[in-house]
């Protein structure tokens, strides 16, 4: 079992580092920027691309089964952080992989990697938007469907990947759940730098606790090759982080100088429907109901 997990980890590392199509050059400015990706990577001009703007008045409310997270609360035996020139990527090299099932997903999805997108200041940076509102940082936890055996095979099926996506908010105080990560982040500022960390914090530390309030839609990888194979799960509640903590991300060096921003602009929705889990809807309705009752009582 341990050997199998190590193999899983190795497969993920291979997929990120050595496979054609995942290593070709792209950037976020000028002629290597998002508007030109489609010339080299034809999927990038598809009709189910990510990110998107989530318009609250257009979402369709739907009741999904509860999301089930496993191994989110376990320390990660050995992780590797890498500055790949486009972002900082965390992969699990040894130990139990977190997994997710339920919600809009059929079957179990295993952790492949997590990474971030940010902007040059706190007013922008997230890839997905809500009512045209940008957030300063967005975390993508990428999982592949376990029945497809590995990341690469999964990335060739329309339901092959899921991304648990978290939006951040700049706040006054530091979020100490990110201390350990930030400590490692400064070690991988140089292009191509890696850091190996043993007994790392559980992935639960990176996210918020509310698993019910989310949007979901079908989309793509937001970087080349832009494959349309991702079930997006975008959480409504934001993760707080201080300005200085967010600033650390902007110190990374990319393939084209300092990586000040690495978010792709929003793409057209076309025929797609964005769903909002009714768990969040019930919560909103319940709050509204309580406020109404309170209003009546106070009259
Ligand atoms: C967001 O921007 C689009 C395009 O400019 C516009 O049609 C839409 O009404 C905006 N949404 C909100 C909530 O302002
Ligand atoms: C799967 O791979 C084939 C052959 O390379 C390709 O034509 C097809 O578009 C891929 N499917 C997806 C969903 O990426
Ligand atoms: Zn991403």
Distance from Cα 19 to the centre of ligand 2, integer Å: 15
Q: What is the DSSP letter of 59?
A: -
Please give all residues whose beta carbon lies within 6 A of any atom in ligand 2, as ranges: 156-158, 227, 229
CA separation for the pair 196, 212 (Å, rounded): 33
Confidence (pLDDT) at 4:
45
Residue 131 CB–ligand 1 contact under 6 Å: yes
Q: Specify whether 86 is catalytic.
A: yes
> What is the DSSP pairing of strand 76-83 with strand 194-200?
antiparallel
Protein residue with its CA nearest to atom 4 in ligand 2: 156
| CA atoms within a 13 Å half-sphere pointing along the CA-CB vector of 269 | 15
The second-level CATH assignment, the architecture, of 2-298 is Roll (3.10)
Tell me which of 52, 55, 57, 59 to substitute to probe ligand 1's pocket, judged by most ligand atoms within 8 Å of the beta carbon. 55
Confidence (pLDDT) at 294:
63
CA distance from start to end of the chain: 64
CA separation for the pair 110, 296 (Å, rounded): 49
Distance from Cα 222 to the centre of ligand 3, integer Å: 6
The number of residues making up the chain comes to 299
Q: Which residues of the chain have pLDDT under 50?
A: 1-22
Confidence (pLDDT) at 98:
98
Distance from Cα 220 to the centre of ligand 1, integer Å: 22
Spans of all domains in the chain:
2-298
Confidence (pLDDT) at 255:
84
Residue 57 CB–ligand 1 contact under 6 Å: no
């Amino acid at each position: 079992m341990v050997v199998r997990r190590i193999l899983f980890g190795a497969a993920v590392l291979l997929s990120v580092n050595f496979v054609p199509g995942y290593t070709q050059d792209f950037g976020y400015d000028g002629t290597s920027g998002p508007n030109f990706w489609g010339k080299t990577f034809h999927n990038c001009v598809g009709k189910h691309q990510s990110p998107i703007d989530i318009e609250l008045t257009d979402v369709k409310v739907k009741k999904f089964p509860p999301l089930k997270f496993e191994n989110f609360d376990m320390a990660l035996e050995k992780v590797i952080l890498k500055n790949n020139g486009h972002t900082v990527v965390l992969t699990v090299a040894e130990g139990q992989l977190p997994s997710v099932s339920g919600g809009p997903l059929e079957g179990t999805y295993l952790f492949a990697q997590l990474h971030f997108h940010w902007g040059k200041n706190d007013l922008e940076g997230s890839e997905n938007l809500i009512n045209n509102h940008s957030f300063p940082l967005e975390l993508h936890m990428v999982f592949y469907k376990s029945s497809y055996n590995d990341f690469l095979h999964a990335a060739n099926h329309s339901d092959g990947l899921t991304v648990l996506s978290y939006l951040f908010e700049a706040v006054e105080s530091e979020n100490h759940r990110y201390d350990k990560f930030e400590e490692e982040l400064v070690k991988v500022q140089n292009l191509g730098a890696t850091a190996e960390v043993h007994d790392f914090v559980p992935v639960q530390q990176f996210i918020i606790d509310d698993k019910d309030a989310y949007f979901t839609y079908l989309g793509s990888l937001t970087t080349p090759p832009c494959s349309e194979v991702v079930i997006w799960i975008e959480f409504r509640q934001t993760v707080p982080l201080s300005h200085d903590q967010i600033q650390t991300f902007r110190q990374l060096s990319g393939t084209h100088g300092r990586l000040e921003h690495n978010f792709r602009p929003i793409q057209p929705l076309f025929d797609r429907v964005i769903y909002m889990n009714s768990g969040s809807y019930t919560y909103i309705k319940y709050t509204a109901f309580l406020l109404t009752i309170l209003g009546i009582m106070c009259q």
